[in-house]
Amino acid sequence: MHSWDTAFKTGSENDYSVCTIWGCADNGYYLLWLWRGRVEFPALKKQMISLAEHWPPTRIVVEDKASGQSLIQELTYRTALPIIPVRVDTDKLARAQAVTALVEAGKVFLPQNAPWLSGYVDELAAFPTGTYDDSVDSTTQALNYIRHQPVHYTEIFKVLL
């Protein structure tokens, strides 16, 4: 499953767009890959399609607000990608608190040697007072979505971490 938190501007003062890619297994949830960048709409759409080709998703959850709405409409209309709009109904802190128990219970696994791991962990550790929270948003969106959905065995990954 892919989880997207999107933004459309490229300036250094703007938020990042982030995609976290997750696998589910009977023992928990595996973060397989992370993409983070500041790109405009055409490049963001191209990146979403590229990641879907490299990491074929069963679902692509996209926050259904602002920049995500355009991507949802465009990709639903023009591709066969399994786009699922996700409406936000609570604040960022409440969404993070809702999945904290999964992390504390040892149900969330990270790849030990990923080149982006250090920055990812630093951002999560600095939340909610850090400069950026885009990886946090993508992660909490994914985990909140997954924990409310039944695990389908077609989504179980055997991952060597």
Rounded-to-10 torsion of CA 156, 115, 45, 151: 10
Amino acid 157: pLDDT = 46
Q: Three-state SS string across the chain, please?
A: CEEEECCCCCCCCCCCEEEEEEEEECCEEEEEEEEEECCCHHHHHHHHHHHHHHCCCCCEEEECCHHHHHHHHHHHHHCCCCEEEECCCCCHHHHHHHHHHHHHCCCEECCCCCCCHHHHHHHHHHCCCCCCCHHHHHHHHHHHHHHCCCCCHHHECCCCC
Q: Please report, for the chain, the start and end positions of each structural domain, with discontinuous segments joined by +.
A: 2-148
- Chunked in runs of 10, what are the mean pLDDT values of the chain (161 residues)? 87 84 94 95 94 96 89 94 91 92 95 96 94 94 86 45 39
Architecture of domain 2-148: 2-Layer Sandwich (3.30)
Amino acid 55: pLDDT = 96
Amino acid 12: pLDDT = 67
